[in-house]
Amino acid sequence: METPVKYMCILVFVVSMTIAGFNGVDGTSNYYGPCGKHDIEKEAQKLAPCTYAAKYFRAPVSERRCTIMEKKLNNPSCLCAILQSRTAYNAGVRPEVAVTIPKRCNIAVRPVGHKCGAFPFV
């Protein structure tokens, strides 16, 4: 008598976990990430002109770099993901320097205090 109850409990557990698993997979299928449908690594490649300014605090920041950065500031979470991407790391980008570019560009509307990893935008 105990054996059928044990198997029934196991069967109920397996069926409930299967249903929960299917719902979890279906629920995450619409999630794209901080940059929406855009690939973070490809977005990082678009910031290639800003690489030198993202490595050195005293590097000059051209108007072109400022324009690129201003567009990316519309979504600070995406920008942070880009700055911490493998592509940016391989290029030698230093996130603690990169978050200073908006200030060096004199961009008025910037996410001051928004943390990008351990580094807040200034």
Block mean pLDDT (10 aa), the chain, length 122:
66 62 51 84 89 92 89 88 92 91 88 80 76
Alpha-carbon gap, residue 1 to 5, rounded angstroms? 7
Q: Is the pTM of this model over 0.75?
A: no
Query: How many other CB atoms sit within 10 Å of the CB of residue 66?
Result: 18
* pLDDT tens readout for residues 3-37: 676 667 676 666 666 665 555 554 444 567 888 88
Query: How many other CB atoms sit within 10 Å of the CB of residue 78?
Result: 18
